[in-house]
């Protein structure tokens, strides 16, 4: 696997997300095995999911060095955000954590599939 193939697989996964109205996907390849992508998914209820990953391919496996998966409702209010920004050093899961509204909880790094499933669960529960 190289970075181009990884980005293509992520984009294909995002395009098949239920409830999706539009997808804006931008990737930047820094070299054969290193790059980042940003994506904005808009849903029929006017909520949005913003994704960012800085990725390096090592031994044909994607290693996500930085990530942010931010979901907000139609009023632009944060519903959840997983990220690994190093601003909660006392958490056991440091640097990984989950923002739920105005609360922060320990969390492991989720897969994009997990993020998409949680997003759809939120949309369907409205």
Domain boundaries, the chain: 3-124
pTM: 0.95
C-beta separation of 53 from 36 below 8 A: yes
d(CA 99, CA 93): 13
Exposed/middle/buried for residue 109 (C-beta within 10 Å: 0-12, 13-18, 19+): middle
pLDDT in tens, 7-42: 999 999 999 999 999 999 999 999 999 999 999 999
pLDDT in tens, 72-92: 999 999 999 999 999 999 999
Name the helix (H) or strand (E) containing 108.
none
């Amino acid at each position: 696997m190289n970075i181009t193939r990884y980005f293509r697989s992520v984009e294909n996964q995002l395009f098949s997300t239920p409830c999706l109205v539009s997808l804006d996907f931008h990737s930047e390849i820094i070299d054969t095995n290193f790059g980042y992508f940003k994506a904005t998914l808009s849903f029929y209820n006017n909520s949005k999911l913003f994704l960012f990953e800085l990725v390096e391919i090592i031994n044909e496996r994607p290693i996500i060095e930085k990530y942010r998966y931010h979901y907000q409702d139609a009023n632009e209010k944060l519903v959840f955000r997983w990220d690994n920004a190093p601003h909660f050093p006392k958490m056991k899961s440091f640097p990984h954590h989950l923002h739920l509204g105005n609360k922060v909880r320990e969390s492991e790094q989720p897969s994009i599939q997990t993020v998409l499933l949680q997003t759809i669960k939120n949309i369907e529960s409205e």
